[in-house]
Amino acid sequence: MKWVTFISFIFLVCSTESKHLPRRYRDVGPSNTIGHSYSELPEEDDFQGIVLVSFVHYVPNITFEDVEKMVYDITDLGKKCAADEHAVPECTKSIDILILDELCHEPNIAGKYAFTECCSKVHQERNECFLSHKNATQTSFPPFEHPEAEKGCKAFHDNRLIVLGRFLFEISRRYEDASILALFVAAAKYEQVLQTCCQEDDKAACFKEKASAVKQQLKHTILVEKQNCFILKKFGPKTLQSLKFVQVVQRFPKADRSVLHNITRDIVHIHEERCRGDTLESHLDQMALTKFLCGHQDIISTKIRGCCEGPLLERPICLATTVENDDPPADLSPTVREFVNNKEVCQRYAENHDNHLESFLYEYARRHQNFSAQLLLRTEKGYHDLLEKCCGLDVPEECLIEGEVLLRKHIADTLEVVRTNCDLYEKLGDYHFKNALLVRYTKKAPQLAFKELNEYADSLHHVAAKCCQLGDDKKLICAEGDTAFVLGNICLWHQRHHINGRICQCCSNEYAFQRECFSSIKEDEKYVPAPCTAELFPFHEDLCTPNANVEKPKLLVNLVKCKPAITEEQMKAVITDFYGLVAKCCQAENHERCFQEEGPKLVERTQAALS
């Protein structure tokens, strides 16, 4: 799709400006004006696409008709300024400023969408007002419905740009804080779906499969972005910077610490902009950072060459997801004993706490590329606590050396958690391992509905299926990193719908210790269970169909919800009794009648056994 090349253009023209000063308020040079922006593009619809997303992200409840008119207005201005940079005074302005100008100057738009107050402001205050207005007036939209296959293909054949523009409009307003790159990638993939499925005989089946995959990928990307925002909001930019710093150090262990510090500082800044809704500025800075990385491969890593030689649009995603860890320097010592076995350690820590801790994290992370980011952050916290304890002593050296023993124990404990869960997965198999996770998390969060519990158990099951087969050099990073993502989703849910106090504690305490905190919850002691009544256990003949493996986990969850303290032995006895009931009734002449007669008896036996 042609719009995506606009991102490449933005990437080129915005890469030389200073960091952290919002671009709209810098001096506008000739390479940043709307005319230059327009003329750099190979196709006019590229320009129109980015303008459309920007308008929608500022005013998500705007209609397509209102957006369409303003997009054409900005496009006409771009065309005019490209032909003559002095045609009108607006030609000296950049595209982001002109988008807000257009919203304010277009008749009736400001009043219609209630942002007149913002238009009385100028420069940064105006932008902040628009962002505050958007955040205060969030609109809920129904799920996007794809048109009927034949009609959709005809519309795409008749006017490709209108169909893609409408799709980009619809997903932009539903995901108003999503990165522009994520939305453009989704739109590009949707165009591929249209091109493929419109050639198929069974267009509807093709759309159902492929369009659903595009939707799921977009949702996953947005969840990742939301989790970064959650970390920023709950734990602050320092925690996010430490997390990103560890990940960047492991990937580029040859690069100097100062370079990686600045890269991660910029990454956090990009997330801060997007998390407060300023998606255009976030996008411009993301492209500028990509430009820097690709322009400085000699001091960062030669491993990024493949990404930097690819299409401009694909470079940021490639750099973030596909680059292999570079090899550590050949002369790197195997240990970091200088951080404990050195008389100057406490003096360095006293002179600059943050600098000393980051230096430790840098040296430790690039030597341990097989450790998860979460483990490395816990190691940094342990080292911090060790310094606080030991540096107050008259002779801190002996105390500091004791920290090595504690560190080795924590690493061993972390590896044992992964090994135990992988052994359990191998022993139980997919179906029963997922059911074990269902039981485990129903006890931790019985307030959750089956839908959410099943989703989280399924996600954790996929973590085991994916990570347990990997070698020791990748297993821990995979297992703890992917588990952190699932737990992050639980915390996002808790943020919107309070679950319970224990979950709240785990989601509010230090990020690096979330997995340990969740593991420590055996059950919610304050939960008051409902009685185990027959209504909770509807036994029907669908238990004799292939759908049984969907229904059985629901009964399992209801059992745990009404008896959260149930022991493993009691659980086995109930399950054995249940399977006996299913076998008996599925062999009976009238399945449903058998379940109606025998089901209540099973409930009574269960109540008696668990009372």
Rg (CA), the chain: 28
Kindly tell me the burial class for residue 158, based on how many C-beta atoms sit within 10 Å of its own C-beta (0-12, 13-18, 19 or more): exposed
Binding-site members for Ca(2+) are 278, 281
Q: Alpha helices, DSSP H only, in 497-542?
A: 501-508, 514-520
Q: Please name which of 274, 275, 270, 323 lies closest in space to residue 300, comparing C-alpha atoms.
A: 323
Angle of helix 237-251 versus helix 373-390 axis, rounded to 10 = 120
Asked if 180 and 53 count as a contact pair (C-beta separation under 8 A), the reply is yes
| Angular region, 309: left φ>0, alpha ψ -120 to 50, beta rest | alpha
Task: Give the residue ranges of DSSP H helices in 339-395.
Answer: 345-351, 353-367, 373-390
At position 171, the amino acid (one-letter code) is I
Reduce the secondary structure of 550-600 to three states and give it as a string. Answer: HHHHHHHHHHHHHCCCCCHHHHHHHHHHHHHHHHHHHHCCCHHHHHHHHHH
Among candidate residues 50, 24, 45, 49, the one with its CA nearest the CA of residue 130: 24
The enclosing H or E element of 233 equals helix 203-235
Known binding residues for Zn(2+) = 273, 278
The CA-atom distances, in angstroms, between 107 and each of 55, 58, 130, 233 are 15, 17, 17, 38
CB 532 within 8 A of CB 563: yes
Q: How many CB atoms lie within 10 A of CB 246?
A: 28
Q: What are the binding residues?
A: 273, 278, 281
CA 77 to chain centre: 37
Angstrom distance (rounded) from CA 364 to CA 386:
16
Count of helices and strands (H, E) across the chain? 29, 0
Amino acid at 3: W
Residue type, 349: Y
Six token digits for residue 311 = 């299409």
Amino acid identity for residue 421 in this structure: N
Q: How far apart are the C-alpha atoms of 184 and 171, rounded to whole Å?
A: 10
| Cβ count within 10 A of residue 546 | 7
The answer to whether residues 494 and 226 touch, using CB atoms and an 8 Å cutoff, is no
